[in-house]
Amino acid sequence: MQRLTPGYLLLAFALAAGPAAAIAADQPTKTIKTVTAKDTPLDGKVMFHEYCAVCHGENAQGNGPAADALKKAPADLTQISRKNSGKFPEIRVMRVIKGDDELAAHGNRAMPVWGTIFRSLSSKEGSDLRVNALLKYIEGFQAK
């Protein structure tokens, strides 16, 4: 019986694997990008749909898929200006988003404190940019 030396085994492997490697090299590679919380863009619309729409709804009228599970219905965010004599209360809304002001309607923190979450994603400056982008998006869809 003849023994195969390690050199012959290596040569046999290289000859067998070579064409397979060449075929694989010709195939285009697919890159799958996953989005993590740290990748969240500073785009108010994207952030609204990612963080707020589950309760407030895609149209911001308080009819999101989780709304029925809450003790109190989420606010219709399109009516904020109308309920404030036609002026958007920017500072008040910013303080609610950040969690600096509580709303009676939110009870015991039913609404997540997004400011805390945004701060965990980036620096204070990044957090402020996120809150401001979300604030401007909400201001932009106010009912006239």
Please tell me the predicted confidence (pLDDT) of residue 36.
Answer: 47
To the nearest 10 degrees (0 to 180), the angle between helices 114-121 and 124-140 is 130
**Cα separation of 92 and 97, whole Å?**
9
Residues in the chain: 144
What's the pTM? 0.62
Are the C-beta atoms of residues 115 and 109 closer than 8 Å to each other? no
H or E element, residue 22: helix 6-26
CA distances from 49 to 21, 26, 72, 133, 134 (A): 44, 40, 20, 13, 10
| Per-residue tokens: 125 | 């400056």
User: Taking the domains of the chain in order of start, what are their residue ranges?
Assistant: 37-140
Please tell me the predicted confidence (pLDDT) of residue 144.
Answer: 79
Q: What mean pLDDT is predicted for residues 114-132?
A: 68
70-87 tens-digit pLDDT: 888 899 999 999 999 999
Please say if the pLDDT value at position 96 is more than 50.
yes
23-54 tens-digit pLDDT: 555 555 555 544 444 555 679 999 999 989 99
Q: Give the chain's mean pLDDT.
A: 76
